[in-house]
């Protein structure tokens, strides 16, 4: 897979997790409770799969390759993408704080958890759509073939550590399990 195909495939995985999270939050609003271990798993995915894997590949590898190819960070979509990554980190931190309070028995934090979850889902959904339609198209046009080939090698070596491969396997299993729990009624 090319680097852009890898990132698009990850967007597909992220999209499924956003659907799961959205159903989970809906259930929480209706019933005022859920299996909090499931929420913990989602936050683990947002941390390990999205922030420490997907965002790192974009911020440390793809965006710099685009800048090298002449797309300025200041005047392009790249800076918007970076700000949006930062915002998802803030929402994630707020979600982690709220979940800790709820698990300690403070149910008054449930509305806050729902609010930040919806903010996260909305932002991430629009963000990945923008990357698919606009940012990756820029990358396709601007990054020359040899630089793209170099990027492909960097992507491969990024994923080659045992810890990262183990994590990817764990996140795939988590996604399958949560899909079975939250997406099975309507497919």
Question: Which positions touch Fe ion (CB under 5 A)?
Answer: 58, 81, 131
77 vs 131 by CB, closer to Fe ion: 131
Q: Residue 27 or 152: which CB sits closer to Fe ion?
A: 152
By three-state DSSP, how is residue 76 classified? coil
**How far from 111 is each of 30, 59, 102, 115, CA to CA, in Å?**
11, 32, 10, 6
User: Smallest distance, Å, CB 54 to Fe ion?
Assistant: 6
Is 96 in contact with 39 (CB distance < 8 Å)? no
Minimum CB separation of residue 142 from Fe ion in Å reads: 17
Rounded least distance, CB 11 to Fe ion, Å: 6
- Would you put residue 32 in left (φ > 0), alpha (ψ -120 to 50) or beta? left
Shorter beta-carbon distance to Fe ion: residue 81 or 143: 81
**Among residues 24 and 81, whose Cβ is nearest to Fe ion?**
81
What's the closest the beta carbon of residue 129 comes to Fe ion, in angstroms?
A: 10
- State how far the Cα of 182 lies from the Cα of 185, in Å rounded to an integer: 8
Output 73 or 101, the one with its CB closest to Fe ion: 73
User: In terms of Cα–Cα distance, which of 8, 17, 23 is closest to 45?
Assistant: 17
At its nearest, how many Å lie between Fe ion and the CB of residue 21? Answer: 16
Per-residue burial over 44-73, b if 16 or more Cβ lie within 10 Å, else e, is ebbbbbbeebbbebbeebbbebbeeeebee
């Amino acid at each position: 897979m090319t680097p852009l195909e890898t990132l698009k495939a990850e967007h597909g995985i992220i999209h499924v997790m956003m659907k799961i999270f959205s159903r989970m939050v809906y259930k929480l609003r209706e019933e005022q409770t859920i299996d909090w271990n499931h929420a913990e798993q989602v936050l683990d995915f947002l941390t390990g799969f999205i922030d420490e894997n997907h965002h790192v590949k974009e911020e440390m590898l793809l965006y710099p390759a685009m800048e090298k190819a002449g797309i300025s960070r200041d005047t392009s979509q790249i800076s918007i993408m970076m700000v949006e990554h930062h915002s998802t980190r803030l929402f994630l931190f707020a979600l982690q704080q709220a979940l800790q309070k709820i698990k300690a028995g403070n149910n008054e934090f449930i509305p806050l958890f729902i609010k930040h979850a919806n903010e996260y889902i909305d932002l991430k959904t629009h963000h990945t759509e923008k990357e698919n339609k606009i940012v990756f198209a820029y990358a396709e046009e601007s990054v020359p073939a040899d630089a793209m080939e170099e990027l492909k090698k960097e992507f491969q070596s990024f994923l080659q550590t045992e810890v990262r491969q183990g994590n990817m396997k764990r996140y795939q299993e988590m996604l399958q399990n949560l899909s079975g729990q939250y997406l099975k009624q309507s497919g």
